[in-house]
């Protein structure tokens, strides 16, 4: 056993062929089981992380009773299994049961095309750390995430509850609107990589620099759209509890409710993995090319998995951080942000990046340091234009109300007068 382990971790021939035949099926099943287990346990731990981080941001303790808080996910899971499955009157039974399943499966299935580490060499051949390396990798994820809306819409419709229906309708409108920006924002990434397979995109970033530098604006649009697609604050209108009780899952209890919860966290994990892969170099170990061209080794694969995990955890933390930082959008703000701002912006951006790439290739520039720095400086200029000039008082500020300097001065004068009046009264 220890011999096999050592053999697994030793450096191997870079031209090792991928595993084939029976070993391929066995390793694929093994990868599926491992990913499913880690995914489910990870999501359980994320519920704890969400509550702990919320508590930390709000300066309180958070869950600290069941096993000092660490066993809280297990207790929650047990509770959800033991609870009564309610079936309200007038529901459409088949669809009511189908809806949680339909929202859970796409979130889980998306993981089968995300590469999460450098290949592992074994005596049977090279094992690529991705369950299915489809030639259409990224489009497969887009297709699956576009299906997540079915679960929510059907839950809202079949519940026979007006709040649930409103939540479902909101969610379908929201997800369709932001799906377009999300898909469009990745077109510059695909243009740079020249392919839609996620491993090609990672490889391109190894030699051409992280896409967050090359395509900063695309990253911002993708991130905002990802928040909307996963129904997280500030875009959690489908379940806005102050308006809709709990939105589309109002009528659900026990494990069916839990499946919606798992699907939401699963969507978050997938979005984090996508942001890390498309814009932050994925599993690539920085400043070394050994993990990309070999000789591969088990240790290097472990390190690359750790790097991928660290990047994903950062984005998951970002999701939770934003939840307690930004208030919920109003519905008209959500729609105008999606259709009137992000869609035109991303269309202009695609044309611009395509023109720059055409110009660079006409000038004979190859992807590399020079190429990346030209793209990067264009993006920095765009970001400055976007966030400093265009945005002032138009998009971000409605969250706190538009105020110019005169208004602030007037308010200050009122305050001063009040103080004076109070003093005079005394």
Partner 1 sequence: MEPHYALFYVFHFYLFGVIALASAIAFVTRKSPVAAALWLVNTMFSLAALYVMLDAQFIGVMQVLVYAGAIMVVFLFVVMLLNLGDPSELADARGKGWKFAAGLVGLGLLSEIMVILRTRLPQQLIVPRDFNEQQLQKLNAVGTIAAPLFKDYLLAFELTSVLLLVAIAGAVVLARGRPEDAR
Contacts with partner 1, residue ranges (CB under 8 A) = 92, 95, 134-136, 139-140, 142-144, 146-147, 149-150, 153-154, 157, 165, 168-169, 172-173, 175-176, 179, 194-197
Asked if residues 218 and 185 have their Cβ atoms less than 8 Å apart, the reply is yes
Instruction: Outline where 10-161 has alpha helix (H).
Output: 22-57, 72-82, 93-109, 137-145, 148-158
Tell me the closest approach of the beta carbon of residue 195 to partner 1, in angstroms: 5
Token pair for residue 175? 């997800």
Gap between the Cα atoms of 183 and 320, Å rounded? 24
Tell me the closest approach of the beta carbon of residue 169 to partner 1, in angstroms: 7
Specify the residue, 176 or 421, whose C-beta has the smaller distance to partner 1: 176
Specify the residue, 355 or 381, whose C-beta has the smaller distance to partner 1: 355
Gap between the Cα atoms of 259 and 61, Å rounded? 27
Gap between the Cα atoms of 358 and 84, Å rounded? 61
Nearby residues of 175 by Cβ (< 8 Å), 6 or more positions away:
146, 148, 149, 152, 228, 229
Tell me the closest approach of the beta carbon of residue 93 to partner 1, in angstroms: 12
Specify the residue, 182 or 262, whose C-beta has the smaller distance to partner 1: 182
Asked if residues 73 and 45 have their Cβ atoms less than 8 Å apart, the reply is yes
Gap between the Cα atoms of 397 and 95, Å rounded? 41
Task: Output the CA–CA distances (angstroms, integers) from residue 274 to 142, 258, 308, 312, 332, in the order listed.
Answer: 10, 24, 11, 9, 28
122 DSSP β-pair partners? 125
Tell me the closest approach of the beta carbon of residue 40 to partner 1, in angstroms: 25
Tell me the closest approach of the beta carbon of residue 222 to partner 1, in angstroms: 17
Helix axes 343-362, 369-384, angle to 10 degrees: 150
Tell me the closest approach of the beta carbon of residue 290 to partner 1, in angstroms: 26
Asked if residues 27 and 125 have their Cβ atoms less than 8 Å apart, the reply is no
Specify the residue, 67 or 135, whose C-beta has the smaller distance to partner 1: 135
Task: Output the CA–CA distances (angstroms, integers) from residue 238 to 19, 144, 167, 323, 362, in the order listed.
Answer: 45, 19, 4, 15, 48
Specify the residue, 92 or 333, whose C-beta has the smaller distance to partner 1: 92
Tell me the closest approach of the beta carbon of residue 209 to partner 1, in angstroms: 22
Q: State the CB neighbour count (10 A cutoff) for residue 348.
A: 12
Tell me the closest approach of the beta carbon of residue 197 to partner 1, in angstroms: 7
Specify the residue, 134 or 305, whose C-beta has the smaller distance to partner 1: 134
Nearby residues of 16 by Cβ (< 8 Å), 6 or more positions away:
121, 125, 126, 294, 296
Q: How would you classify residue 19: left for phi > 0, otherwise alpha for psi between -120 and 50, otherwise beta?
A: beta
Specify the residue, 54 or 92, whose C-beta has the smaller distance to partner 1: 92
Specify the residue, 62 or 88, whose C-beta has the smaller distance to partner 1: 88
Tell me the closest approach of the beta carbon of residue 422 to partner 1, in angstroms: 55
């Amino acid at each position: 056993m220890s011999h096999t382990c050592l053999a697994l971790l030793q450096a191997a021939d870079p031209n090792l062929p991928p595993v084939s035949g029976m070993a391929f099926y066995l390793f694929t099943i093994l990868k599926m089981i491992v990913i499913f287990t880690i995914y489910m346990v990870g999501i359980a731990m994320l519920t704890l992380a969400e509550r702990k981080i919320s508590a930390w941001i709000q300066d309180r303790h958070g869950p600290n009773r069941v096993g000092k808080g660490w066993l809280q996910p297990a207790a929650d899971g047990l509770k959800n299994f033991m609870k009564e499955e309610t079936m309200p009157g007038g529901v459409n039974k088949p669809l009511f049961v189908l809806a949680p399943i339909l929202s859970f499966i796409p979130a889980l299935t998306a993981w089968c095309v995300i590469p999460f580490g450098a290949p592992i060499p074994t005596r049977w051949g090279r094992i690529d750390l991705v369950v299915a390396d489809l030639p259409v990798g990224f489009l497969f994820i887009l297709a699956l995430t576009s299906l997540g809306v079915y679960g929510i819409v059907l839950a809202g419709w079949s519940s026979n509850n007006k709040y649930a229906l409103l939540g479902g309708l909101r969610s379908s409108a929201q997800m369709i609107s932001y799906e377009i920006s999300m898909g469009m924002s990745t077109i510059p990434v695909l243009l740079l990589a020249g392919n839609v397979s996620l491993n090609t995109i990672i490889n391109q970033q190894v030699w051409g620099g992280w896409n967050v530098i090359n395509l900063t604006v695309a990253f911002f649009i993708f991130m905002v759209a990802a928040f909307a697609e996963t129904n997280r604050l500030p875009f959690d209108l489908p379940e806005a509890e102050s308006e809709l009780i709990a939105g589309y899952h109002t009528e659900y209890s026990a494990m069916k409710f839990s499946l919606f919860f798992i699907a939401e966290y699963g969507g978050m994990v997938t979005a984090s993995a996508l942001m890390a892969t498309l814009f932050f170099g994925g599993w690539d170990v920085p400043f070394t090319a050994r993990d990309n061209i070999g000789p591969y080794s088990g240790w290097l694969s472990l390190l690359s998995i750790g790097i991928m995990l660290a990047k994903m955890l950062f984005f998951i933390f970002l999701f939770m951080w934003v939840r307690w930082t930004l208030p919920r959008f109003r519905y008209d703000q959500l729609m105008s942000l999606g259709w009137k701002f992000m869609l035109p912006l991303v269309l202009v951006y695609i044309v611009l990046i395509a023109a720059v790439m055409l110009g660079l290739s006409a000038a004979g520039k190859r992807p590399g340091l020079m190429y990346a720095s030209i793209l990067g400086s264009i993006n920095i200029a765009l970001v400055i234009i976007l966030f400093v000039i265009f945005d002032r008082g138009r998009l971000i500020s409605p969250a706190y109300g538009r105020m110019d300097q005169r208004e602030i001065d007037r308010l200050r004068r009122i305050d001063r007068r009040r103080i004076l009046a109070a003093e005079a009264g005394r």
